[in-house]
Amino acid sequence: MASVATTQVFKQDIFAGKVLLCTGGGSGICRGMTEAMVRHGAKAVIVSRSKDKLEQAAREMSQATGGEIIAVAGDVRKPADVENAVKQTVERFGRIDFLINGAAGNFLAPFQNLSYNAFRTVIEIDLLGTFNMTKAAVEHIKQAKGAIINVSATLYYTGTPYQQHAGSAKAAIDALTKHWAVELGPHGVRVNGIAPGPIGNTVGMDKLGLGFEVESIPMQRMGDVQDIAQSTVFLFSEGANWITGVTLVVDGGQWMNPNYIAYPAMVLTPPQGKL
């Protein structure tokens, strides 16, 4: 993935001295979110399972931004791995101000072809992984009076075909966002979500966008990684210091289009094979 050429809408150094921990930060949307934070002064630690790809992403983003980004390989489903990621972050940078829970798994699967294991795997990566990393990092975030962003989705708003596994996980993550906002607010911690719409030039859209029609988006264009990156900078900034418990939908209005039928070609020609 190429570097995200973010427009400097916000002051360049607003996160100077701050530290971001991001799961899933080595690719796709979460890589763009991480890079935007570093471009605005933060240091970052990115976490995912693939060590080689993760370290390459960290090098590329560091070169592109001039900032400091390190990679820590780990599986968010495993408490020992998330605790190690937190430990290495604090040992390297001394603090954790911001957390992005972005690690996720997804694929297209009709109900009849979705195995017990496949459903459980997505729930564990998305939902359990979000809980695990937050549980491991929360005391440091409380000390910093920082903020958390949980990456969500609009899938369950309308019942997107072949996405019940991911939609269920994201619905539960949105619930965690609200619960944590209430419990952590008295500690000075804000917790919000971002629900991206269809984002072009990403592996996720290539995998999941079968039959998607850009005309279904009221804004009449695909989203860009930068759209999510800028929303991330805003929600972590002082400009959002009284916003918590909100899942910000960044989708050009797609989910609420009354004429939109989710992925009509998928209903006519469902994916084949069992998962």
Q: What is the DSSP letter of 273?
A: S
Full residue range of the structural domain in which residue 167 is found: 19-268
Interval 193-217 mean pLDDT: 82
**Cα separation, 210 vs 66, whole angstroms:** 37
Mark whether 142 is an active-site residue.
no
Q: Is the pLDDT of residue 103 over 60?
A: yes
Within-domain flag for 98: yes
pLDDT in tens, 105-147: 999 999 999 999 999 999 999 999 999 999 999 999 999 999 9
Which of 27, 43, 48, 170 is catalytic? The answer is 170
pLDDT for 54 equals 96
pLDDT in tens, 152-164: 999 999 888 899 9
Which of 152, 231, 237, 274 is catalytic? The answer is 152
Q: Is the pLDDT of residue 263 over 80?
A: no
Looking at every residue in the chain, the average pLDDT score rounds to 91
Within-domain flag for 96: yes
Within-domain flag for 34: yes
Within-domain flag for 118: yes
Q: Please answer whether residues 196 and 155 qualify as being in contact, where contact means their C-beta atoms are separated by less than 8 angstroms.
A: no
pLDDT for 83 equals 98
**Residue 267 tokens, joined:** 């209903």
Within-domain flag for 6: no
pLDDT for 241 equals 97
Within-domain flag for 13: no
Q: Confirm whether pTM is higher than 0.85.
A: yes
Q: 118 exposed, middle or buried (CB, 10 Å; 0-12, 13-18, 19+)?
A: middle
Q: 268 exposed, middle or buried (CB, 10 Å; 0-12, 13-18, 19+)?
A: exposed
Residue that wins the pLDDT comparison between 222 and 85: 85
**Cα separation, 33 vs 102, whole angstroms:** 10
Within-domain flag for 159: yes
Mark whether 170 is an active-site residue.
yes
Helices in the chain by DSSP H: which ranges? 28-39, 51-65, 79-93, 116-123, 129-144, 155-158, 164-184, 203-208, 225-236, 264-268
**Overall number of domains in the chain:** 1
Distance from chain centroid for Cα 204 = 12
Q: Is the pLDDT of residue 194 over 70?
A: yes
pLDDT in tens, 50-85: 899 999 999 999 999 999 999 999 999 999 999 999
Q: Is the pLDDT of residue 92 over 60?
A: yes
Q: CATH number for the domain including 161?
A: 3.40.50.720
Within-domain flag for 12: no
Interval 229-233 mean pLDDT: 97
